[in-house]
Amino acid sequence: MAEFDPSFIIPGEKKIRTMIIKSYKFNREDLQNLLTNTAENVSLTIDLWSSKAKHWYLGVTATWITSNFEIKIQC
């Protein structure tokens, strides 16, 4: 990353954990209902990045296939 942005600093485990918990609390109920009703197995993808202004962004994507073989994606 230093080649692309020398000011980039990878956040520590504590910062990442805090970001995940905040996002989880915000989306918990809706996601829980959706997954309970349609998913048996879920694949998670996590992406972390920051702006030049040092604002951190965390993206979590859940992907699964329903019993009707429909692909579902929730970010």
pLDDT of residue 8: 77
**Residue 61 host element (H or E):** strand 56-65
Average pLDDT in the chain: 85
pTM above 0.75, yes or no: no
CA proximity to 74, closest of 12, 24, 28, 31: 31
pLDDT of residue 44: 92
Cα(62)–Cα(48) distance, rounded to whole angstroms? 15
pLDDT single digits (tens) 21-43: 888 888 888 888 888 888 888 99
Question: Torsion-angle region of residue 66: left (phi > 0), alpha (psi -120 to 50) or beta?
Answer: beta
The proportion of the chain whose per-residue pLDDT surpasses 70, expressed as a percent, equals 97
| Residues pairing with 56 in the sheet | 50
pLDDT of residue 1: 58
| Domains in the chain: boundaries | 13-74
